[in-house]
Structure 1
Amino acid sequence: MHRRRYRSALVALGALASLLVPTVVAAPPAAAAPSGTKTVIANLFEWNWPSVASECTNVLGPKGYGYVQVSPPQEHVRGNQWWVAYQPVSYRIESRKGTRAQFQSMVNTCHAAGVKVIVDTVINHMSGQDAGGTGWAGSSYGHYNYPGIYQSQDFHYCGTSGNEITSYYDRWQVQNCELVNLSDLKTESDYVRSRIAAYMNDLLSLGVDGFRLDASKHMPAADIAAIKGKLSRSAYIVQEVIYGAGEPIGPGEYTGNGDVHEFRYGKDLARMFNNERLAYLRNFGEAWGYLPNSKAAVFVDNHDTQRDVGGVLTYKNGRTYALANAFMLAWPYGSKTVQSSYTFSNRDAGPPSDANNKTLNTTCFSGWECEHRWQVIANMVGFHNATQGAGVSNWYDNGYQHIAFSRTGKGYLSVNDENFAINGRSYYAGLPAGRYCDVIHGTFSNGSCSGPVITVDSAGWFAANIPAHDAVAIHVGAKLS
């Protein structure tokens, strides 16, 4: 849950002559998951459980995604906005996205496809409804009363107007006052910690592999550590901690618990593409003051930041968004998450739903944007997997918006975000001689390429013409026989 509430503005994409978008990767028949290390996360934001299961089988597994992140599965308040899922009223696995049985089936199906499951987990707070009411699955609740779970003594009352956070420069307020009226749990209480851990252990019993901890900044790192200590088995942990310049609470405090979202990454990447120079990305990562590589979780946008106005690149930026994701998936910093959205023009708008606000099955490009299927993004997941562990070498830039680099001995990416084509240039890839599929413009399958083929000579060079706002990418996993 983002700490701020933003207005959204619909940005016209314009005509997209490039193959970058909206070319779609068709759902191939079910196949065994690729071998090797797979760490890219697809955030299927607000997808229902049958649709997630189908996507694991037909797209995520075959394309090499290692994880799927699913939206909060617990019972929540009623409504059609996206944020109702971030207002729990009980820990029952019953929501507008599906039943407990459907959730269990989804986890099993994803595992069979070689895809692990991360759950977006809301543990900092309960609902933000002053009057209370009845939740999605029929549970009654009040703002500070959740029968059988929490009573008034289990919440913080910080003494500010409306118990609201009034200053993000006051550590105590940020971690003891309410975030947009959401009843703030007393996570220093062993009882509260035990209830939260019981919910997470229930999810673990269903086979869940990891947790995204929503609003982690609003809980002391020690409280999260104590909750983690009550889990029945180990699980991947990634924490939402938004960096704020000059604020007393920083993301670095939370690295002892697991990975932490590096929110500066997407904002700075957008700034380089929109206003500054891609040439500056030569040392993108820790040298920019970011979290350590081994603890950083990065994304071009997520469900919160894409509702900002101009702060990050989103699907509404079309080809530039695709190029930014291609860079992220090729560049060796942090664990990567690809956002998969539904189309929206109102920042509060929920996913495609029926008259009762039950989430509809996903139909890509019919209300659902499905960026994880865009040809560039989906194919660059394969690039990421093929180049795991390789360093960066052979960096080139023209001082402005044309960059290129190798993942040493395994892959090569050249991005031209200039307003003009770069023609007649040769690139030193340092790859074995042979013919490679340009995975930006074609898909490699069964030893052949559906798009252009790049020939690397015996000295490791190749020639290519790159149109404006376009790219070329080759890797050893897409080498033609």
Structure 2
Amino acid sequence: MLPPQRSAVRRGVFGAAVAALVVVLAACNNQVPLEPDRAAPDVGIQLFQLPWTAIADECEQTLAPNGFAWVLTSPPNEHIVRDEWWASYQPVSYELESRLGTRDEFADMVQRCDDAGVQIIADAVINHMTGQDDPGVGWAGTPYEHYDYPDLYGYDDFHHCGLTANDDISNYDDRAQVQTCELVNLADLDTSRQNVRDTVGAYLDDLLSLGVAGFRIDAAKHMDAADVEAIIVALPEGTRIMSEVIRGGGEPVQPEEYTAFGEVFEFTYARDLLPALASGFVNEPETEGDRPLHVPADKALVFIDNHDTERGEADLTYRDGDLYVIANALMLADDYGTPVVYSGYAFSDRDAGAPADDAGRVTPVSCAIATDLPADDYEDGARTCVQTWPAIAGMLEFRAFAMDFPRLEGVSEGDAYGFERAGRGVIAVNVGDEATSIQIPTTMQDGKYCDVVSGGRESWTNDGCRDDEFSVENGVATFALAPFTAAAIHLGTAHR
């Protein structure tokens, strides 16, 4: 029996239906029709702890060809000399010399990526400096002490909150502690001081002069939103700002405070989606208006995991294989927020840095030659190369066809779930351990369509579909799904 038909309102606007009907299928067998209109890429990817030379290669060889719009890099500043990944998040100076590369290599990466059509977003650590009690020397040879950074900051440029025994944050329900005490001993800059704002602004301007498109503001939650805005408004118009503000239930500092001057990473998105997938039941989100406990869609950056959450709260990571593919596929098919895919390296020690040479420089790795991914198992240090997974590339293609069209109400049948992007594409997932079938009402034209999850970005050949094929008949898309699989079709994969 077919599932109930949705109302005309829920099935999309008239224009979307018309757009679907004007696509004419080719007359000869196994020929894909003329390609419908595509949207410009919007999806970003975090290439965690990847050297600048390798990111430049990825922009040219995997990111631009697969349809990514921008890359979030790790922090480019000089940092403490340690092997752990978090060394990059303990600035010693704002020189662009780090274990990920030199200033010249960073500039070359920005230019090569820009030439390929991929923008660079730099991770900007401006809330704090180091967390080291003992004096030391940074990666580029700059001496420092906990509250003394030559030619940058002195003792009076830091908060000394006096609210806890060791000046560390102990109570996240106290706004003053969150924004003036130290996060795990990291020397907390007093961003209300004009000289601190000017120094931070000069660092960001330097990066902009090399061509970066914007910044992820690390630990933005730990700075008063007015302080962050005061730094941001002095930057050139059009600078993209992405604030990291981890939402905590009942806490006084919330992400909405930071949306006036840019986008915000919405941690609630993954928190809502991932436990449902792990339990075998997909929740239907709000599909009209704002979603509860989410910033507005046009301000939201959504992700399945990142470098912090994969070492902490994330329910799904690269280790979860099929379910991780399903989660990313649903995110890329959704109409809420701007998706950010995550690509890092395997680890068993949560502090372990990326593999490095004898001098401590992180080893460049190319994902262009990666095959048979996602893997069933990864050795420590191996790059996950998520940007080359066929399912990810295929869903980026799906998004290009569907992103300008509304998400319609989903259908659930047992462990299966799916929804349509009005007249442009349909996605279905099975999060159960048994094969199942699901039927999803659609305004897409009747016919056969190649699956982009199994078939990848180029899911068809002149001989037919590269992998799975699904049909639309009488306004219903039917998906027969193996356990723990996703499938998606769009107008560009139609054939007879």
Tell me the TM-score normalized by structure 2: 0.86
Distance in 2, Cα, partners of 1:410 & 1:59: 25
Distance in 1, Cα, partners of 2:179 & 2:357: 37
- Cα distance 1:176–1:134, how it changes in 2: closer, same or farther (>3 A)? same
- 1:350 positional shift: 0.5
Distance in 1, Cα, partners of 2:479 & 2:336: 27
> Partner of 1:270 in structure 2?
274
- Cα distance 1:316–1:123, how it changes in 2: closer, same or farther (>3 A)? same
- 1:234 positional shift: 2.4
Of the candidates 425, 428, 432, which is equivalent to residue 418 of structure 1?
432
Unaligned runs of 5+ in 1: 1-33
- 1:342 positional shift: 0.4
Unaligned runs of 5+ in 2: 1-36, 371-380
- Cα distance 1:274–1:381, how it changes in 2: closer, same or farther (>3 A)? same
> Partner of 2:450 in structure 1?
437
- Cα distance 1:480–1:151, how it changes in 2: closer, same or farther (>3 A)? farther
Alignment of 1:391 onto 2:406: yes
- 1:455 positional shift: 3.8
Of the candidates 253, 259, 263, which is equivalent to residue 263 of structure 2?
259
- Cα distance 1:446–1:317, how it changes in 2: closer, same or farther (>3 A)? closer
TM-superposition CA deviations, 1:203-252 (whole Å, max 9, x none): 10000001100000000000011001221342111101111111111111
Alignment of 1:161 onto 2:165: yes
Q: Contact (CA 8 Å) 1:263, 1:298: kept in 2 or not?
A: yes
Distance in 2, Cα, partners of 1:248 & 1:195: 28
Distance in 2, Cα, partners of 1:276 & 1:251: 30
> Partner of 1:17 in structure 2?
none
Range 108-117 or range 354-363, more displaced: 354-363
Alignment of 1:336 onto 2:339: yes
Q: Contact (CA 8 Å) 2:43, 2:68: kept in 1 or not?
A: yes
Aligned residue for 1:316, secondary structure, equals: helix
Range 428-437 or range 165-174, more displaced: 428-437
> Partner of 2:7 in structure 1?
none
Q: Contact (CA 8 Å) 2:58, 2:366: kept in 1 or not?
A: no
Distance in 2, Cα, partners of 1:42 & 1:183: 29
- Cα distance 1:351–1:285, how it changes in 2: closer, same or farther (>3 A)? farther
Aligned residue for 1:286, secondary structure, equals: coil
TM-superposition CA deviations, 1:446-470 (whole Å, max 9, x none): 962422233434x343443211111
**Alignment root-mean-square deviation, CA:** 2.0
Of the candidates 195, 204, 209, which is equivalent to residue 200 of structure 1?
204
Give the length in aligned residue pairs: 444
Q: Contact (CA 8 Å) 2:200, 2:231: kept in 1 or not?
A: yes
> Partner of 1:59 in structure 2?
62
Matches for 1:265-344 after TM superposition, within 5 Å: 265-275=269-279, 277-281=281-285, 283=287, 286-308=290-312, 311-344=314-347
Distance in 2, Cα, partners of 1:74 & 1:304: 19
- Cα distance 1:161–1:443, how it changes in 2: closer, same or farther (>3 A)? same
Distance in 1, Cα, partners of 2:305 & 2:386: 11
Distance in 1, Cα, partners of 2:235 & 2:407: 38
Of the candidates 97, 100, 105, which is equivalent to residue 97 of structure 1?
100
Q: Percent identity?
A: 42
- 1:444 positional shift: 4.1
Instruction: Write the letter of the residue equivalent to 2:433.
Output: N
TM-superposition CA deviations, 1:98-145 (whole Å, max 9, x none): 011111110111111111111111000001111121111111111111
Tell me which stretches of 4 or more aligned residues in structure 1 moved more than 4 Å.
282-285, 363-366
Asked which structure has the greater CA Rg, the reply is 2
> Partner of 2:77 in structure 1?
74
> Partner of 2:467 in structure 1?
451
Distance in 1, Cα, partners of 2:130 & 2:38: 42
Instruction: Write the letter of the residue equivalent to 2:231.
Output: I
Aligned residue for 2:326, secondary structure, equals: helix
